[in-house]
């Protein structure tokens, strides 16, 4: 079926009109274009990998990708041409303890102790230096600039001074990623001209609006999850801080959804997954399986996407 689509598109380009099926007066139809928005959510965003596996399984490639925070990280890797399985293998390197995963984010090639890891640098506005993690990601792809990606990509950061989202789709990839994932208090904000850029999840945690009007089908993957009440009377300070950030993101998404919904909206379960649980990739992907099945059926219903 995909071959027929490609031939049809070629003939349209050559002759300026849709060709006719043999023995029929019906023109060949080009496949609908698909845009994919990958949302913010810390380690829970590893669930994006399960969604990308669905795209790979169906042989469907999005024509445009947008991402915020962890969605920007996964989006860069996929837009650079890596498969979902290859992205899985990259993050599988963070397996082990939570502290070990955090150590790998700072210096992927090092074995660090707690005192080495937690070098407080309040002068730069962040607890950790993300440069080692970004270099680790860069070592797996050839692209260094947006125009070198196989799939057009736009990622979102937040202007500290105005609070407005900043869409980045040109220039160098790593500074843009550093800005989009600059969680306040964890990673340092990134200067960009007169702007000071922070995590994209603060202003647009699920940037599907950037795709509307650009493609036929907009797919949005929301990895902000839900909070389950537990039996503990007290909430740990780290959970309080990170979940407050999540509440803010969910409020933004609700307001955006009330104004205009994407064509396909998927929200994987990520109960029990905290911001820095990058060491729990297999548990995250297992929880995401029902959402991945939902995405597959939704894509198949849309004009027979993925059918051969």
Give the CA count within 13 Å in the CB-facing half-sphere of 150.
Answer: 12
Over 80: is that where the pLDDT of 108 sits? no
- pLDDT band, residue 71 (cuts 50/70/90): very high
E strands, the chain, are 34-38, 64-68, 153-159, 165-168, 190-192, 195-199, 217-221, 264-266
- pLDDT band, residue 12 (cuts 50/70/90): very low
Over 60: is that where the pLDDT of 122 sits? no
The CA dihedral of 11, 17, 22, 24, to the nearest 10 degrees, is 160
Centre a 10 Å sphere on the Cβ of residue 299 and count the other Cβ atoms it contains: 22
> According to the model, what pLDDT value does residue 239 have?
65
> According to the model, what pLDDT value does residue 13 have?
40
Assessment of whether the complete model's pTM goes beyond 0.75: yes
Q: What percentage of the chain reaches a pLDDT higher than 70?
A: 73
> According to the model, what pLDDT value does residue 173 have?
97
Q: What is the mean pLDDT of residues 118-140?
A: 70
Partners of 199 in beta bridges: 157
Partners of 238 in beta bridges: none
- Which two three-digit tokens encode residue 190? 């990134």
Contact 100, 188 (CB under 8 A): no
Among 46-60, 96-110, 291-305, top mean pLDDT goes to 46-60
Q: Output the average pLDDT for the chain.
A: 81
* Residue 18, Cβ density class (10 Å: 0-12 exposed, 13-18 middle, ≥19 buried): middle
Q: What is the mean pLDDT of residues 231-255?
A: 77
Ramachandran assignment for 96, one of left (phi > 0), alpha (psi -120 to 50 degrees), beta (any other): left
């Amino acid at each position: 079926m995909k071959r027929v689509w490609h031939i049809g598109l070629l003939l349209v380009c050559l002759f300026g009109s849709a060709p006719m099926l043999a023995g029929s007066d019906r023109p060949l139809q080009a496949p609908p274009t698909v845009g994919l928005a990958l949302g913010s959510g810390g380690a829970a965003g590893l669930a994006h990998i399960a969604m990308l596996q669905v795209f790979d399984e169906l042989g469907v490639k999005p024509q445009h990708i947008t991402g915020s925070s962890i969605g920007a990280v996964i989006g860069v890797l996929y837009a650079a041409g890596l498969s979902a399985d290859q992205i899985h293998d990259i993050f599988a390197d963070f397996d082990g303890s939570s502290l070990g995963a955090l150590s790998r984010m700072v210096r992927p090639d090092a074995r660090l102790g707690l005192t080495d890891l937690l070098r407080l640098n309040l002068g730069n506005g962040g607890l950790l230096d993300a440069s080692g993690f970004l270099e680790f990601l860069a070592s797996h792809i050839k692209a260094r600039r947006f125009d070198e990606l196989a799939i057009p990509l736009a990622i979102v950061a937040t202007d500290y001074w105005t609070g407005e989202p900043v869409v980045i789709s040109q220039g160098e990839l790593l500074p843009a990623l550093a800005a989009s994932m600059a969680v306040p208090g964890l990673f340092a904000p990134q200067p960009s001209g007169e702007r000071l850029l922070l995590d994209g999840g603060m202003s647009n945690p699920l940037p599907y609006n950037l795709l509307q009007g650009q493609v036929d089908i907009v797919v949005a993957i929301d990895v902000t999850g839900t909070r389950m009440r537990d039996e503990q009377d007290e909430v740990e300070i780290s959970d309080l801080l990170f979940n407050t950030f999540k509440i803010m993101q969910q409020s933004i998404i609700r307001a955006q959804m009330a104004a205009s919904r994407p064509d396909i909206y998927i929200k994987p379960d990520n109960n029990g997954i905290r911001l820095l649980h990058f060491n729990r990739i297999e548990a995250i992907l297992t929880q995401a399986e029902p959402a991945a099945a939902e995405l597959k059926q939704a894509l198949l219903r849309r004009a027979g996407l993925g059918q051969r």
